[in-house]
A = this chain, B = another copy of it.
Amino acid sequence: MSNSRPRQRMKPCCMELEGGIRNRGLRMTLPRQLVAQVLESADGYLSAEDIYSIIREEYPAIGLATVYRTLVLLDEMGIVNRYNFGEGRARYIAAEDQTAEHHHQLICERCYKVIKYSDFSEDERELYKKVESVLSEKHGFEIKRHIVQFHGICPDCRKESQNESSNSDV
Protein backbone atom coordinates (compact mmCIF):
# COMPACT_ATOMS: atom_id res chain seq x y z
CA MET A 1 0.00 0.00 0.00
CA SER A 2 2.45 2.63 -1.03
CA ASN A 3 2.76 3.15 -4.75
CA SER A 4 -0.37 5.16 -5.28
CA ARG A 5 1.95 7.86 -6.54
CA PRO A 6 4.44 6.69 -9.13
CA ARG A 7 7.73 8.47 -8.87
CA GLN A 8 8.85 10.48 -11.83
CA ARG A 9 12.08 10.53 -13.72
CA MET A 10 14.58 13.32 -13.69
CA LYS A 11 14.93 15.55 -16.68
CA PRO A 12 18.37 16.76 -17.67
CA CYS A 13 19.22 20.39 -16.76
CA CYS A 14 20.43 22.58 -13.88
CA MET A 15 24.16 22.64 -14.38
CA GLU A 16 24.78 24.74 -11.35
CA LEU A 17 22.99 22.50 -8.90
CA GLU A 18 24.60 19.40 -10.25
CA GLY A 19 28.10 20.48 -9.32
CA GLY A 20 27.27 20.77 -5.65
CA ILE A 21 25.27 17.59 -5.59
CA ARG A 22 27.90 15.50 -7.36
CA ASN A 23 30.71 16.97 -5.28
CA ARG A 24 29.08 15.62 -2.20
CA GLY A 25 28.60 12.20 -3.70
CA LEU A 26 24.85 12.70 -3.78
CA ARG A 27 22.40 11.93 -6.54
CA MET A 28 20.74 14.24 -8.95
CA THR A 29 16.99 13.80 -8.83
CA LEU A 30 13.86 15.39 -10.18
CA PRO A 31 12.63 16.85 -6.86
CA ARG A 32 15.99 18.48 -6.28
CA GLN A 33 15.93 20.03 -9.71
CA LEU A 34 12.40 21.24 -9.29
CA VAL A 35 12.91 22.89 -5.93
CA ALA A 36 16.03 24.64 -7.16
CA GLN A 37 14.27 25.72 -10.35
CA VAL A 38 11.22 27.08 -8.57
CA LEU A 39 13.39 29.15 -6.26
CA GLU A 40 15.55 30.43 -9.08
CA SER A 41 12.59 31.65 -11.06
CA ALA A 42 10.73 33.06 -8.08
CA ASP A 43 10.99 36.75 -7.37
CA GLY A 44 10.12 36.68 -3.70
CA TYR A 45 10.57 34.64 -0.56
CA LEU A 46 8.76 31.31 -0.73
CA SER A 47 7.71 29.06 2.11
CA ALA A 48 8.15 25.30 1.84
CA GLU A 49 4.42 25.04 1.29
CA ASP A 50 4.56 27.63 -1.51
CA ILE A 51 7.24 25.66 -3.27
CA TYR A 52 5.36 22.44 -2.77
CA SER A 53 2.17 23.92 -4.25
CA ILE A 54 3.96 25.23 -7.32
CA ILE A 55 5.70 21.95 -7.99
CA ARG A 56 2.52 20.05 -7.35
CA GLU A 57 0.70 21.66 -10.25
CA GLU A 58 2.90 19.86 -12.71
CA TYR A 59 4.33 17.07 -10.64
CA PRO A 60 1.72 15.88 -8.16
CA ALA A 61 3.87 12.90 -7.27
CA ILE A 62 6.39 14.95 -5.32
CA GLY A 63 5.86 14.98 -1.55
CA LEU A 64 6.11 17.81 0.93
CA ALA A 65 8.64 15.97 3.06
CA THR A 66 10.97 15.80 0.11
CA VAL A 67 10.65 19.52 -0.43
CA TYR A 68 11.68 20.05 3.18
CA ARG A 69 14.57 17.63 2.88
CA THR A 70 15.71 19.31 -0.28
CA LEU A 71 15.55 22.74 1.27
CA VAL A 72 17.80 21.62 4.09
CA LEU A 73 20.24 20.30 1.53
CA LEU A 74 20.18 23.39 -0.67
CA ASP A 75 20.63 25.59 2.37
CA GLU A 76 23.65 23.61 3.50
CA MET A 77 25.06 23.83 0.01
CA GLY A 78 24.60 27.58 0.05
CA ILE A 79 22.33 27.49 -2.98
CA VAL A 80 19.39 28.94 -1.10
CA ASN A 81 19.08 31.09 2.00
CA ARG A 82 16.56 30.58 4.74
CA TYR A 83 14.87 33.53 6.39
CA ASN A 84 12.53 33.84 9.27
CA PHE A 85 10.31 36.87 9.24
CA GLY A 86 8.42 36.00 12.39
CA GLU A 87 5.46 34.31 10.75
CA GLY A 88 6.15 31.00 12.36
CA ARG A 89 7.40 29.48 9.13
CA ALA A 90 10.64 29.77 7.22
CA ARG A 91 10.97 31.34 3.79
CA TYR A 92 13.57 30.63 1.18
CA ILE A 93 15.20 32.51 -1.64
CA ALA A 94 17.81 31.62 -4.22
CA ALA A 95 21.24 32.48 -2.86
CA GLU A 96 22.49 34.12 -6.06
CA ASP A 97 20.42 37.13 -5.21
CA GLN A 98 22.14 37.00 -1.88
CA THR A 99 25.72 37.14 -3.08
CA ALA A 100 25.74 38.83 -6.44
CA GLU A 101 22.96 41.19 -5.60
CA HIS A 102 22.80 41.09 -1.83
CA HIS A 103 19.64 42.54 -0.34
CA HIS A 104 17.98 43.59 2.86
CA GLN A 105 14.30 43.57 3.80
CA LEU A 106 11.40 45.72 4.74
CA ILE A 107 8.78 43.61 6.50
CA CYS A 108 5.19 44.36 7.40
CA GLU A 109 4.36 43.28 10.94
CA ARG A 110 0.70 42.79 10.10
CA CYS A 111 0.53 40.96 6.79
CA TYR A 112 4.16 39.83 6.56
CA LYS A 113 4.54 41.32 3.13
CA VAL A 114 8.27 41.47 2.42
CA ILE A 115 9.95 44.04 0.24
CA LYS A 116 13.55 43.37 -0.57
CA TYR A 117 15.89 46.11 -1.61
CA SER A 118 19.48 46.13 -2.74
CA ASP A 119 20.02 49.72 -3.77
CA PHE A 120 22.50 50.40 -1.02
CA SER A 121 24.63 53.49 -0.95
CA GLU A 122 28.37 53.06 -1.09
CA ASP A 123 28.48 54.21 2.54
CA GLU A 124 26.19 51.40 3.51
CA ARG A 125 28.13 48.76 1.70
CA GLU A 126 31.39 49.86 3.27
CA LEU A 127 29.97 50.17 6.71
CA TYR A 128 28.62 46.62 6.81
CA LYS A 129 31.94 45.33 5.62
CA LYS A 130 33.79 47.27 8.28
CA VAL A 131 31.44 46.31 11.08
CA GLU A 132 31.71 42.72 10.03
CA SER A 133 35.48 42.68 10.29
CA VAL A 134 35.50 44.53 13.60
CA LEU A 135 32.99 42.14 15.14
CA SER A 136 34.70 39.15 13.66
CA GLU A 137 37.97 40.10 15.29
CA LYS A 138 36.53 41.24 18.57
CA HIS A 139 34.43 38.15 19.25
CA GLY A 140 36.36 35.51 17.34
CA PHE A 141 33.38 34.75 15.14
CA GLU A 142 33.68 33.49 11.62
CA ILE A 143 30.94 35.64 10.11
CA LYS A 144 29.15 34.13 7.14
CA ARG A 145 26.34 36.52 6.40
CA HIS A 146 24.28 39.28 7.85
CA ILE A 147 20.60 40.01 8.01
CA VAL A 148 19.21 43.51 8.05
CA GLN A 149 15.47 43.91 8.42
CA PHE A 150 13.31 46.94 8.95
CA HIS A 151 10.00 46.08 10.58
CA GLY A 152 6.95 48.23 10.34
CA ILE A 153 3.53 48.64 8.80
CA CYS A 154 3.11 48.63 5.05
CA PRO A 155 0.98 51.21 3.21
CA ASP A 156 -1.96 48.83 2.76
CA CYS A 157 -2.14 47.86 6.41
CA ARG A 158 -1.79 51.48 7.45
CA LYS A 159 -4.83 52.35 5.36
CA GLU A 160 -6.76 49.51 6.88
CA SER A 161 -6.12 50.57 10.43
CA GLN A 162 -7.10 54.12 9.57
CA ASN A 163 -10.41 52.88 8.22
CA GLU A 164 -11.08 50.92 11.37
CA SER A 165 -10.62 53.82 13.75
CA SER A 166 -10.91 57.45 12.72
CA ASN A 167 -9.64 58.60 16.10
CA SER A 168 -6.25 57.02 15.78
CA ASP A 169 -3.99 57.55 18.72
CA VAL A 170 -2.42 54.17 19.26
Contact = CB atoms under 8 A, between A and B. Distances in A.
- Which 8 A-B residue pairings sit nearest by Cβ, starting from the closest? A140-B155, A143-B152, A147-B149, A142-B153, A84-B84, A141-B152, A144-B152, A146-B150
Contacts of A148: 146-149
Contact of A135 (B117, B131, B144): B117
Interface residues of A, number: 34
Interface string A122-133: 011001000110
Nearest to A134: B121
Interface in A32-78: none
Contacts of A7: none
Contact of A143 (B136, B141, B143, B151): B151
Majority secondary structure of chain A interface residues (helix, strand, loop or mixed): strand
Interface in A88-138: 90, 106, 108-109, 115, 117, 123-124, 127, 131-132, 135-136
A86 interface: yes
Contact of A106 (B84, B127, B139): B139
A90 B109 CA distance: 15
Contact of A127 (B123, B136, B140, B154): B123
A167 to B, nearest CB: 15
Contacts of A143: 106, 150-152
